[in-house]
Structure 1
């Protein structure tokens, strides 16, 4: 899996713990509704329970976990409002990144690698990997902003996206339908057709929102933008 460029980690212990749990959610290793034991998670991460509680507070603010008095902590179950909020945020961020962002040689190579890996996974029927590569592709689009703040927000959105798909039996065709669209979109970016790419990405995200609402059983009620 192609990752972001390495950087020196200056975050606090609770921030690193939150990032680790967020990454596990994004990778589909923590399922919606699953209970998170303070004792077990703190031991796994090698941190104190007080530090873990700080991490839990961060993830609760991001709507990735639910904390209920006397009932403990569990991974969140996104609902219809979450779907709409996530896609509103993505519609605000991703097309702008494509329109105004910078494509470095390193990012271009990364995106080409992600697209090739997605096509290979699709051909071999590894649909979970297709979904992983789709998330990496959109993460790469946001990296065009060069903003750690925006990229951090995208990490949260991608984790919430993963929870949406884990709420029901995974549809093997959902991300498969976007492999070709991702390749076409990136070709527009590399050809300098930024406005066309941004407009296509907006249509793409609206289509995806409608499909996700249908997939989760909420119906295609989201207004088109």
Structure 2
């Protein structure tokens, strides 16, 4: 296998690792990515890393600027609106049709518990990460590998929009108890009520993000 073949084989896995870093909030909008640093941290060749960058640029998560390098993308207001539209279509439907004993429910519960721990410690970035895990678990209720993979990209774009805001407590604090309430409804078999609560929740979250985003002058 040639070096180019190896790079092409590794690229999707590397892209997934970088996507996970975006979802975890470890990479920020507008941040310049260092090939040397990332290739060392991930223990991969620069050729493989460049191919992963190319994949993520195609997804819109990164952007390449000639003679300057590769940067983390900065979401637009239009992209945020579209992200929430997609979230309603996927998450609310998955919750409405969910089986209360589905294995993903345990991951939802673990995410709620983690968010409560982080809230107690005033770790609002941690609360945000737990919230992302909660919503990824909701998507997993649909038992669709394609939907879950697609949601990974959506989640990365969403976390980038969160990264533009200066007050993570204001952004994440209200949703810890809302997540717990939605989980309780699901566990009681009240899937329609849980889906309706989630739709209202997402509308509130969207308004909060867009209002804060507009105040930044983007």
Give 1:156's aligned residue. Answer: 153
Give 1:17's aligned residue. Answer: 14
Q: 2:66 aligns with which of 64, 69, 77?
A: 69
State the alpha-carbon separation in 1 of the partners of residues 212 and 76 from structure 2.
12
Q: Does 1:189 align with 2:186?
A: yes
Contact 2:125 2:168 (C-alpha < 8 Å) held by counterparts: no
Runs of 4 or more above 4 Å deviation:
none
State the alpha-carbon separation in 2 of the partners of residues 211 and 197 from structure 1.
21
Q: Does 1:46 align with 2:38?
A: no
State the alpha-carbon separation in 1 of the partners of residues 50 and 84 from structure 2.
29
Give the deviation of 1:50 after TM superposition: 2.7
TM-score, length of structure 2 as denominator length: 0.87
Give 2:117's aligned residue. Answer: 120
State the alpha-carbon separation in 2 of the partners of residues 36 and 150 from structure 1.
28
Q: 2:136 aligns with which of 132, 136, 139?
A: 139
Task: For residue 12 of structure 1, give the secondary structure of its aligned residue in structure 2.
Answer: helix
Alignment RMSD (CA, Å) = 2.0
Higher share in helix: 2
Q: Note the residue ranges of structure 1 that are not aligned, 5 or more in a row.
A: 1-10, 220-225
State the alpha-carbon separation in 1 of the partners of residues 202 and 102 from structure 2.
26
Give the deviation of 1:103 after TM superposition: 4.3
TM-score, length of structure 1 as denominator length: 0.85
Q: 1:175 aligns with which of 158, 172, 177?
A: 172
Q: Note the residue ranges of structure 2 that are not aligned, 5 or more in a row.
A: 1-7
Contact 1:101 1:146 (C-alpha < 8 Å) held by counterparts: no
Give the deviation of 1:35 after TM superposition: 1.1
State the alpha-carbon separation in 2 of the partners of residues 120 and 76 from structure 1.
31
1:60-103 Cα distance to aligned partner (Å, 9 max, x none): 12221111233221011112112112111101100011012344
